[in-house]
A and B are shown apart, each in its own frame.
Chain A
Amino acid sequence: MYAQNVSTGTQGVRDADELSPEEAAFQARIDGNIKIEPKDWMPAAYRKTLIRQIGQHAHSEIVGQLPEGNWVTRAPTLERKAILLAKVQDEAGHGLYLYCAAETLGISRDELMNKLHSGEMKYSSIFNYPTLTWADMGAVGWLVDGAAIMNQVPLQRTSFGPYARAMVRICKEESFHQRQGYSIMMSMVSGTPAQKEMAQDALNRFWYPALMMFGPSDKDSVHSDQSMAWKIKMNTNDELRQRFVNETVPQAHYLGLTIPDDDLVWNEETGNYDFSQPDWEEFKAVLKGNGPCNRERLGARIKAWEGGEWFRDGLAAYAEKAAKRRVAA
C-alpha cells in the first residue's frame, strides 16, 4: 500500500515461551486491543518497523502531491481546479499528521526527509507513474485513493495510538478524494468519444500499478506475520487486493469502461473476481528506482527541500531573536 514491503527486521513470529516478560506483557496488551502510546515500553523492532512504515506512508503522501499538483494549473474549470487544490492540500496535511506520529517514536521530520532524499526510505511505487491527461486525475482519485482507503480503514484500529488517530483523520478525507476522482471519470465518459477514450486510457495505465499498491503476494511477503501479530498490519496484501478488485470492477462497468484484464471473471464459488496479477518484475524495478518518474519525483522533492532551506533558516533565526528579545525585555 502506501507502505509496501516494510521489513520488520525479525525472523518470523516467535512463540510465547520465547518472549521476555516485557515482550509478553507488550504482546498481551496488543492482543487485548489496548493502544500502545509513545511513552510505553515497546520492543526495539516494533519501534523501528513502525518508523519505517509510518515514514514511508508520510513520504507517499507528499510525493503523491506531485502527479496531481502538476494538473492544478491545467484543470479545465474553476470548480475542478478548486477541488483538486483542496485534495492535494489534504495530502500535504496527511503527510503532516504522519510525520508528527513518527516523531513520537523519536525520529525528527528532518531526519525522515533526509532518509527519503538519500533513497534510504521509499514511498509508494504508484507515484512513479506519470499523469498524462486530465483523465488521469480521475483515475488517480478513483483507483489510487480507492486503494489507499482499502488499506487505511482497517489501520484505524492499528496498535500504535498516534498512528491509529492519524488514520482516523485521514480516512475522513480519503472518501472525498475518491469521489472527486470518480466524478471526473463520470463526466469524461459522458462527454465526447475522445474524452471517453482518454478515460479508458487512464484506466488502462493505472489498473496494474494500482494493484501493485497492496504489495507483493502473501506467499512472497516475508514480513507480514510479525506485522500482523503486532497489529500494525491488519489484513494480508492479497485480501486487500481482492477486496479492491471486487469493489472496483462494478464501478468500472457503471462507467462503461473495460478493466484491461482478459482473464477477469466472476467466480461464483469463491464469491470473488478472479483476476490477473500485475507484473511483479516491473514492481521490483520501480521500487529500485527505475520506474518512469522516479528520478523526476525524488528530484522535485530534493529541489523543494534544498531550495527552501534559506526560508526555514530565516524563520528559525527570527524565532530565536524574538525569544532573546523577550528575555531581555
Chain B
Amino acid sequence: MPSLSDMNTDDVTKLADIAAAEQTHDAHVTNVETRPAFFEWLCRMGDTTLILGQRLSEWCGHGPALEEDIALTNTALDLIGHTQLWLGLAGEVENEGRSADQLAFLRDALKFRNVLLVEVPNGDMGVTTMRQFLFDAFHYELLQRLTESTSPRVAEIAAKALKEVSYHVERSTDLVVRLGDGTPESHDRMQQALDILWSYTGDMFVSDGVDATMAEAGIAPSPDTLREAWLARVEDVLDEATLNVPDNASCIPAARPANTRSIWATSCPICSFCSAPIRAPAGSRWRGAV
C-alpha cells in the first residue's frame, strides 16, 4: 500500500503548465474574424468524440467478452482524450475563459453539435460495432485531411488522434467482417444494425456556412468532400462482410434547423443527470488536491 506521502504527490498542475508553455503558435486561434465559426467547428469535433466516448463507456463491465470490454474501453479512452484536446482548443479560441470541462458538462443537451450517428443508443453489440465502423471510416478520412490543416494546433491534434483512429478503424472493420460473415444470427444482427444506422450517415457529410468558412481558411475540409472516399471504403468492407448496403436515398439527411445537431434529447448521454456533480454549487472541487 503506498505511503501517505506517495498518495499526495500532485504534479498535475506542474505538468499542465509545462504543456501550456510548449504550445505551438497559431494565428488562427486569435483571429477574431473566423472566431465564431472556428469555435463552432471545434465544438462539433469535441462533442462528437465526447458523445461516442460516453456511449462506449456505457458498455464498461457489460461487454460480451473480457477482450471486447477492454477494447471498447480503450476506444472510449482515446475519444475522451480527443475531446479534451478539441474542447480545450475551443475554449482558447472562444477566449471567454471556458475550459474543456465547462464546455463538455455545462452546456444544455440542445447546444451539442455532434454528428447524429454517434448519439444513436448502443442497442446490441451489432449496433455498437456497426456504428463504430461507420464513424471510424469517416473519422479516419477527416483526420487524415486535418493533418494538413493551416492551423498548426488542429494539425497537431489530428496527427495524434489519427494514430489511434487508424487502429479503431482497423479493429471495427475486422469485427464487421467477422460478424457479418459469422453465424446466420450474427449476420442478421449486423444487417439490422446497418439498416438502422444508415439513415444517420448522411448527416456526417452535411456542409454548412461554418464548414465553408473553415474550408476557406484552410483549417478543415468541407465534410461533403469526404463522402466519396468514405463510401468506397464502406462498400468494400460491407461487401466482404456479406452485408447489403441499404438504398443510398435513405441516407439523405432529414432537414433540420441550422446548426442544430442533437435530436435525442431524451436519451442524450450527457443529460443533466450525467453532469449533476459538476452542476454543484460554485466552489465545489473535483480536480487535483491543490
Which A residues have a C-beta under 8 Å from some C-beta of B?
Answer: 62, 65-66, 69-70, 72-82, 85-86, 88-89, 92-93, 95-96, 99, 134, 146, 149-150, 153, 175, 178-179, 182-183, 186-188, 190-192, 194-195, 244, 247, 250-251, 254, 300, 303-305, 307-319, 321
Is B239 in contact with chain A by the CB < 8 A criterion?
no
Which B residues have a C-beta under 8 Å from some C-beta of A?
Answer: 1-2, 4, 6-8, 10, 50, 53-54, 57-58, 60-70, 73-74, 76-77, 80-81, 83-84, 87, 100-101, 104-105, 124-126, 177-179, 181-183, 185-187, 189, 269, 273-278, 280-281, 283-289
Q: Which of B57, B62, B179 contacts A73 (CB 8 A)?
A: B57
Task: Given A77-B101, A85-B76, answer yes or no on A195-B284 (Cβ-Cβ < 8 Å).
Answer: yes
Whether the Cβ atoms of B77 and A89 lie closer than 8 Å is yes
Cross-chain pairs A/B with CB under 8 angstroms, 5 sampled: A65-B60, A73-B54, A95-B66, A311-B125, A318-B182
Whether the Cβ atoms of B2 and A318 lie closer than 8 Å is no
Whether the Cβ atoms of B286 and A187 lie closer than 8 Å is yes
Nearest to A247 among chain B residues (CB) is: B1
Whether the Cβ atoms of A92 and B280 lie closer than 8 Å is no
New contact pairs (15) apart from A73-B54, A79-B101, A188-B285, CB-CB < 8 Å: A65-B69, A76-B277, A77-B101, A77-B105, A92-B66, A186-B289, A191-B286, A192-B281, A192-B284, A312-B64, A313-B183, A314-B179, A317-B182, A318-B182, A321-B181
Whether the Cβ atoms of A178 and B7 lie closer than 8 Å is yes
Whether the Cβ atoms of B182 and A307 lie closer than 8 Å is no
Specify which chain B residues have a CB less than 8 angstroms from the CB of A82 in the assembled complex. Answer: 77, 80-81, 84
Q: Which of A69, A96, A194, A315 contacts B60 (CB 8 A)?
A: A69
Whether the Cβ atoms of B73 and A89 lie closer than 8 Å is yes
Shortest distance in angstroms between A115's beta carbon and chain B's nearest beta carbon? 16
Whether the Cβ atoms of A179 and B7 lie closer than 8 Å is yes
Whether the Cβ atoms of A78 and B73 lie closer than 8 Å is no
Task: Given A74-B276, A187-B286, answer yes or no on A304-B60 (Cβ-Cβ < 8 Å).
Answer: no
Q: Which of B57, B187, B289 contacts A81 (CB 8 A)?
A: B57
Task: Given A76-B277, A314-B182, A318-B179, answer yes or no on A186-B8 (Cβ-Cβ < 8 Å).
Answer: yes
Whether the Cβ atoms of B7 and A187 lie closer than 8 Å is no
Specify which chain A residues have a CB less than 8 angstroms from the CB of B84 in the assembled complex. Answer: 78-79, 82
Nearest to A176 among chain B residues (CB) is: B2
* Bound-complex Cα distance A316 to B65 (A): 12
Task: Given A78-B104, A313-B183, answer yes or no on A69-B285 (Cβ-Cβ < 8 Å).
Answer: no
Whether the Cβ atoms of A310 and B186 lie closer than 8 Å is yes
Whether the Cβ atoms of B1 and A315 lie closer than 8 Å is no
* Bound-complex Cα distance A308 to B57 (A): 17
* Bound-complex Cα distance A121 to B212 (A): 61
Whether the Cβ atoms of B80 and A78 lie closer than 8 Å is yes
Specify which chain A residues have a CB less than 8 angstroms from the CB of B181 in the assembled complex. Answer: 318, 321
Specify which chain A residues have a CB less than 8 angstroms from the CB of B64 in the assembled complex. Answer: 304-305, 307-309, 311-312
Whether the Cβ atoms of A311 and B287 lie closer than 8 Å is no
Specify which chain A residues have a CB less than 8 angstroms from the CB of B74 in the assembled complex. Answer: 89
* Bound-complex Cα distance A307 to B286 (A): 36
Specify which chain B residues have a CB less than 8 angstroms from the CB of A93 in the assembled complex. Answer: 70
Specify which chain B residues have a CB less than 8 angstroms from the CB of A79 in the assembled complex. Answer: 84, 101, 287
* Bound-complex Cα distance A305 to B182 (A): 18
Shortest distance in angstroms between A5's beta carbon and chain B's nearest beta carbon? 23
Q: Which of B4, B10, B83 contacts A78 (CB 8 A)?
A: B83
Specify which chain A residues have a CB less than 8 angstroms from the CB of B61 in the assembled complex. Answer: 62, 65-66, 69-70, 88, 92, 300, 304
Whether the Cβ atoms of A311 and B7 lie closer than 8 Å is no
Specify which chain B residues have a CB less than 8 angstroms from the CB of A192 in the assembled complex. Answer: 280-281, 283-285
Whether the Cβ atoms of B70 and A96 lie closer than 8 Å is yes
Specify which chain A residues have a CB less than 8 angstroms from the CB of B275 in the assembled complex. Answer: 74, 76
Shortest distance in angstroms between A103's beta carbon and chain B's nearest beta carbon? 13
Task: Given A88-B61, A314-B182, answer yes or no on A73-B125 (Cβ-Cβ < 8 Å).
Answer: no
* Bound-complex Cα distance A149 to B10 (A): 22
Task: Given A179-B2, A251-B7, A308-B125, answer yes or no on A317-B186 (Cβ-Cβ < 8 Å).
Answer: yes
* Bound-complex Cα distance A247 to B285 (A): 26
Specify which chain A residues have a CB less than 8 angstroms from the CB of B182 in the assembled complex. Answer: 313-318
* Bound-complex Cα distance A96 to B65 (A): 10
Nearest to B12 among chain A residues (CB) is: A79
Nearest to A254 among chain B residues (CB) is: B4
Whether the Cβ atoms of A311 and B54 lie closer than 8 Å is no
Specify which chain A residues have a CB less than 8 angstroms from the CB of B87 in the assembled complex. Answer: 78
* Bound-complex Cα distance A65 to B63 (A): 11
Shortest distance in angstroms between A93's beta carbon and chain B's nearest beta carbon? 6
Whether the Cβ atoms of B178 and A315 lie closer than 8 Å is yes
Whether the Cβ atoms of A88 and B73 lie closer than 8 Å is yes
Specify which chain A residues have a CB less than 8 angstroms from the CB of B66 in the assembled complex. Answer: 62, 92, 95-96, 99
Shortest distance in angstroms between B287's beta carbon and chain A's nearest beta carbon? 6
